[in-house]
Structure 1
Amino acid sequence: MSMAVKPAMVGALACQRNSFLFGGFKTLVVSCEPKKDKKGKTEGYEIELQDTILFPEGGGQPSDSGFLKIIEEDGDSSVIRKILVSHVSRSGLHAKHHVSAHIEPGTTIEVNVDEEKRIDYMQQHTGQHLLSAILECDYKVNTVSWSMGGIITGKKSVLKPSDYFNYIELNRKLTEEEITNISDDIDQLIVNSPQEITVIERINEDEADGVDTSKIPDDYDLSKGILRTIHIGNIDSNPCCGTHLKSTSQIGSILILSSQSTVKGTNSRLYFMCGKRVSDYAKSANKILLNSKNLLSCSETQIPEKVSRQTKLIQQSSKREQYWIKKVARTASEKLKKKLEASGKKRAYFMEEEFGTLELLLQVYKEVSIFLKESFEVYEIILCGYERQSSSGSLLILSDTAEKISTLATELGSILQNLKGGGGKKGGKWQGKISFISNAESAALTGYLSHDFASC
C-alpha cells in the first residue's frame, strides 16, 4: 500500500537541513514494503517516511541507526512501541529505513537517532573535509578517496585501536614535517580560529555551475534532486550529502599518524581520527601500554628496549630449538633404519610423548626419506608426537603403498577418536592431527604400536 503523501527527497531531508535533530521528530509512514530473501521469504521491511532525521548511507558516511516510536491505543490506555532501525539506504532520491516489523502507511511515528554515533560520524566527516581542504589549498595534494574507520555494530560491540582510524588516499606521500604543520593548522582552526560551517542548496542543475559534480552518484538525479554544498568558512566548498557540524570547533581534536601506507604505486593513505575517537583511542592505547609495562616490568620508555631484547632471546631460543630438532630427528632416523633392517615385517615407529610437535615429526620424515629411497622397497613407519600441556598431537604414516596407509589410518582412527588427516593416496606420507588425546587413548596407542611395530 502506498499513500499520496509525497516524501522528502534525499538532499532535502530534515537530518541534512539540521544535523543536530536527534529525537522527537514526528512524521508519517508513506510506504512499507517487505524485503525478500533469495527464497522469497520476508526478512524485514523497507519503510519510507514523509521526512526523516535518520541519514541514509552516502558520501563516505555510514547510515544512522535509531528507532521509530509509535503510540498505540489499547482500550483506555496507550502503549509505546519501539521499532529499531538497523540502517537506512538510499534508492535514487528516496531514503529507505530497514526495520523488522510492518508499520501501516499513514501511521504517525516519532523518529529518534543514535546521538553518540551521529556526532561521531559528523566529527570524522567534517574533519575529513577540513583536512582535505588544507592539503589541497596549502600543499597542492589532492584527496583521491576517503574511508571512515570502524564502527560499533550488533556484530562488533568493541573496537580495536586500529578501528578508530579513518584514512584519506592522497596523490603523494607527505613528509613528517608536513603532517606536523597540518596538525597544527587544524588545531588552530578548532581552538583559536573556529570556522562556521554552512550548507547551500541548489534546486536545479543550472545553479550548479562552477561546482564539481563528478563524484555525485550516477543514480542521484540532479535534475530532480538537490545539490548540497558544504562550506567551511572561506577555506572549503564541496558538494556533499552527509551530515556535518556547525563549526570546526565541534571537531574537538584531531590525530594524524605520521606513518602512511603506499597504494596504487605513488598514492598514499594518510590515517587520522577526530573528536571523541582521539580520547577513546588514548584510553585504549594506554591500557595496552600499562599491560605491557606490567608484563615486561619496566617503564614506558623502556618498552622498546625490552621488546627488542626479548625478540633476540626468542630468536636465539628458536635457533637452539631448530638445532636440537635436527639432532633428535637424525638420531631417530638412524634408529628407525636399524629397526627396519632387523624387522621381518619392515615395521617401526617413533614416538615423542612430551614435546612431540609436528615440526619434529616432519624433520624426522625428512631424514627418513633419504634412506627409504635408497634401501627399502617395502616399509610401514608411524611417527607420533604428543604435547602433554595441550593434550593434542600429530601423527604421520609412511608406507610404500596407499593400501597399507589406508589400513593403518583406519586402525589408528579406531584408537584415536579425534584423529583427522589425509594424504598418501599413492603411497608416501599420510599426515594427521589429533585435537585431543585421553589417557586411555594414549595407553591404547602405545600398546598397539609396541605390539605390532619395532620401537626406535
Structure 2
Amino acid sequence: MVFACQENSFLKEFKTTVSSCKKSQIKTLVNQKQTILSGYDVVFDDTILFPEGGGQPCDLGKLQFLTDGNECEIPVIRVSRRGSEAIHFIETEIKEGQSVKQVLNWERRFDHMQQHSGQHLITAVADKSFGCATLSWWLGEDISYIELDTPEFNNINELEKIVNDYILAATPVIVNVYEADNDELKKVRTRGLPDDHRGPVRVISIEGVDNNMCCGTHVSNLNQLQCIKVIKVEKGNKGHSLLYFLSGSRVLNQMGKMMQREQALTSILKNSPLVHAELVDKLQKSTKTTSKYLQALLKDLAVLEAAKIKQIVPKPTHYALHRKEGDSDFMNTLIREINDQDILLFLTVGEEKSCGNMVLYGKPEFVEALGPKICALLEGKGAGKGSKFQAKVRNLSTKEKASELIESYFKK
C-alpha cells in the first residue's frame, strides 16, 4: 500500500477513519530510561504519518476527534510498518470507525525530508562522480552520515560543490509508482525491497541524477534543500568511510550555534576568531606545565607536612589534615613519608562545598572500626583493606565531626 504521506509528502492535516484499535506495548525511552509503555496499536484507512523505514525515523503528530460532543486530542507516540499497514501507537483507546483528523508535526517531517533527499543526492553523486557506493545511512537528531564502500574519501570539496550546484539549478524531484513487474524498475539504482513488501513500488527520481526505490518522504525540488554541508569523513568499520552531512535548516541551525560559540570564545580569549585555535593551544600547553609544577609542589608540601607530624612530641595517636588544593598523590606521599601505623591519619582533600577524597590510614583494627563511620559522615562511597580506607566523598563540611568521632574513639 502507498500511504497518503507517500503520495503527497506536503500534507500537514488529513481526515481518515479508524480501521482497528488493539491493546499493545512498546519499549521506549522515558527520562533516558528504557521503559515498557502500555497503549494501543491503531490502523487507519490511510495516513499522513510516515512509519519508520528506509533509514528515516517515523513521523510524530496528534489525532483530533469528537467523542460524545467533546473535543479530544491524542498524541501519536510511534508509527511503524507491519506488512502493508502503518501501526500508530497511542496511549488512549479509540473506537473503530471513529473519524479523526491527523495533524502532522511538520517541522520534524520537513527536516527528515531535507535530510533524506540530501542523502539520495550525495549518494548518487558519490557513486556517479567518484565511484563510491553507499552501503547504509543513518538519520540522526542533529547530524546524519552515509557509509561509503571505501577506506577513505578525499573529495569532500568537489562533492559538496556538485550537490550544491544541483540545488542551485532547482533540479526537480519526482515520485513515480510502479507495479512490481514493471520493466522501469530495472533502470533504478537500488532495487532491494523489504521481504514483507507488498503492492506498488515507489521510485524517487532526481531529474538527470538518480532513480532509486524508496519508501520515504522527499522534497519536490532540490531547491527546498537550501544547501548541503559535508562536515567530515571518518573511518568506519571493515574498511569503510562515514561521511557526515547537514542539509537544509540544519545547516542554518548549526551555523547559528557555531556563531554563538565563536562569540563566547572571542569574549573569553579577547582576540579575533582567526587566532582562537592558536590561543587555545597555548593555554593548553601552559595549563599542562602549570599542572606539573603544582604536582611537584604538592609532593614537596606533603614531605614537609610529614616531617612536621613526625617531630610532634609525644607521638600523637591520631592526626587530621585537610588540603583543599590537594589530591590523591598528596595524601599517598604523606602516608609514605610518615610510614607509621601507630599514628592514625585522617586525610581529606577538596573544596568543602563540593566533592573530594578521604583516606584513613593506621592500624587495621582502627581503620576497620572507624573507616565506614567516617565515610558515612562525609556522605562518601569507598572501601577499606588492611591499614587503609579510602573513599570519594560529597560533604567535606562534616570533616570536623569526623575528627570528633576519632577523638572520642581514642578516649575510650
Same fold (TM over 0.5): yes
| Alignment partner of 1:174 out of 131, 153, 166 | 153
Q: Note if 1:406 corresponds to 2:368.
A: yes
For residues 205 and 347 of structure 1, what CA distance do their matches in structure 2 show? 92
Query: C-alpha distance in 1, partners of 2:126/2:16?
Result: 41
In structure 2, the residue matched to 1:303 is 276
Q: Could you tell me which amino acid in structure 1 is paired with residue 153 of structure 2? A: L
- Deviation for aligned residue 1:400: 5.1
1:85 corresponds to: 76
Name the residue aligned to 1:200: 176
Aligned-pair identity (%):
29
- 2:55 aligns with 60
Describe the shift of the 1:124–1:392 C-alpha distance in structure 2 as closer, same or farther (beyond 3 A): closer
Secondary structure, counterpart of 2:171 in structure 1: coil
How far apart are 1:347 and its partner, in Å? 4.1
How has the CA–CA distance of structure 1 residues 137 and 113 changed in structure 2, closer, same or farther, with 3 Å as cutoff?
Answer: same
Cα distance in 2 for residues equivalent to 1:269 and 1:116: 27
1:142 aligns with: 133
Question: Is 1:26–1:111's contact at 8 Å kept on the other side of the alignment?
Answer: yes
SS of residue paired to 1:145: strand
Kindly tell me the number of residue pairs found equivalent between the two proteins.
Answer: 400
| 1:386 to 1:227, Cα distance in 2 relative to 1, 3 A | same
**Distance in 2 between residues matched to 1:399 and 1:94, nearest whole Å:** 71
Question: Are residues 1:250 and 2:224 paired?
Answer: yes
Deviation by residue 1:332-354 (Cα, 9 ceiling, x = unmatched): 44555666x964xx844351243
Measured in 1, the distance between the counterparts of 2:186 and 2:351 equals: 75
Deviation at 1:250, TM superposition (A): 1.1
Aligned partner (choices 120, 124, 137) of residue 133 of structure 1: 124
Which is further off, 138-147 or 204-213?
A: 204-213
1:336–1:350 contact (8 Å) kept in structure 2: no
- What's the offset of the Cα at 1:306? 1.8
* Displacement of 1:266: 2.6
Counterpart code for 2:328: L
The gaps in structure 1 that reach 5 residues or longer are 1-8, 151-162
Residue 450 of structure 1: how far off its partner (Å) = 6.3
Kindly indicate whether the alpha-carbon contact (under 8 Å) linking 1:421 and 1:433 is maintained by their aligned counterparts in 2.
Answer: yes
Q: Distance in 2 between matches of 1:64 and 1:412?
A: 54
CA-CA distance at 1:420 after TM superposition: 3.0
2:21 to 32, 42, 47: 32
Question: Structure 1 residues 234 and 410, CA, compared in 2 at 3 Å: closer, same or farther?
Answer: closer
8 Å Cα contact 1:63/1:87 also seen in 2 = yes
Q: Whole-Å Cα distance in 1 between the matches of residues 367 and 75 of structure 2?
A: 58
Pairwise CA RMSD of aligned residues?
Answer: 2.7
Query: For the residues of structure 2 that align with 1:419 and 1:255, how far apart are their CA atoms?
Result: 48
**Residue ranges of structure 2 left out of the alignment (5+ in a row):** 28-35
Query: Equivalent residue of 1:88, what SS?
Result: strand
Partner SS for 1:59:
coil
CA shift, 1:265, in A, is 4.5
Task: Give the CA deviation at 1:245.
Answer: 0.8
1:418 paired residue number: 379
Match of 1:264 among 237, 243, 246: 237
Q: Pick the aligned partner of 2:295 from 311, 322, 331.
A: 322
**Structure 1 residue 209 displacement after superposition:** 4.1
Distance 1:53 1:391, change over 3 A: closer
Work out whether 1:434 is the aligned partner of 2:408.
no
With over 3 angstroms needed to count, the CA separation of the structure-2 counterparts of 1:53 and 1:356, relative to structure 1, is same
Q: Residue by residue, what CA displacement relative to the aligned partner does 1:146-180 show, whole Å, maximum 9, x if unpaired?
A: 11121xxxxxxxxxxxx2x21111122222xx211
Pairing 1:340-379 to 2, within 5 Å after superposition = 343=315, 347-365=317-335, 367-368=336-337, 372=339, 379=342
Q: Does residue 397 of the first structure (1) align with residue 360 of the second (2)?
A: yes
Contact 1:197–1:233 under 8 Å retained in 2: yes
Quick check: 2:55–2:137 contact (8 Å CA) kept in 1?
Answer: yes
